Homo-oligomer: A and B are copies of this chain.
Amino acid sequence: MCKNGISKATLSRIPSYLELLRSLPEERYEHISATAIARKLSLGEVQVRKDLASISGAGKPKLGYVTTELIKNLENFLGGNNLAPAVLVGAGKLGKTLLDYDEFEKFGIRIAAAFDSNDKVISLNGKIEVRPISEFEEFCKSNGIQLGIITVGAGSAQTVCDKMVECGILGILNFAPCNLHVPDGVVIKNENLALSLAHLKNQINK
């Protein structure tokens, strides 16, 4: 099961498959079919079948999947019990919103620390600490951080990006409205919160 071959759309549905499967009474659902899952989640049957096949192979004819096995495979796909630690730089309004966002864990990720040019350590929600950027390098290296989120302004985004690369980060999600340059071997993805709405606007104005 090649992780890399999984589309973003398939990935987006995994947390809801897991939530459903974990909620089913074990005695009545030793097995479950893609059809039953599709019905319960109001999703297309073909889509569910493809999603599950790409992560857990094909179910048994007539029986479907062994529920506990399917749960395990989906959990393993998301990284099992080990949440991948990520760091965030830029604790402004957007940064704080992300720190408060509880969807990361559903995808096997936790924001381990946030950094800001502000020099004080601030505790947010009693969970994540916003630390001064001077502690960034040591934190990343001693925690083996591979994922970084940039929520600073466009003016300092490339500097932050370079620092992340230096510290061994391999995947960067950039919310700053600018293109950033990374060396080969590092994956960068620009995220623009306005883009999906702009795309929707085009779809309704055919």
Contacts and interface: CB of A to CB of B under 8 A. Distances in A.
Interface of A: 2-4, 6, 8, 11-12, 15-16, 41-43, 78-79, 84, 86, 93-94, 96-98, 100-101, 103-104, 106-109, 146-147, 149, 170-173, 177, 179, 181, 187, 189-206
A14 to B, nearest CB: 9
Given A16-B179, A94-B101, A204-B146, A106 B194 contact: yes
A159 to B, nearest CB: 17
| Interface of chain A: mostly helix, strand, loop or mixed | mixed
A12 B189 CA distance: 12
Contacts of A146: 201, 204
Given A170-B204, A189-B200, A195 B8 contact: yes
Nearest to A104: B194
A149 B194 CA distance: 11
A7 to B, nearest CB: 9
B4 A101 contact: no
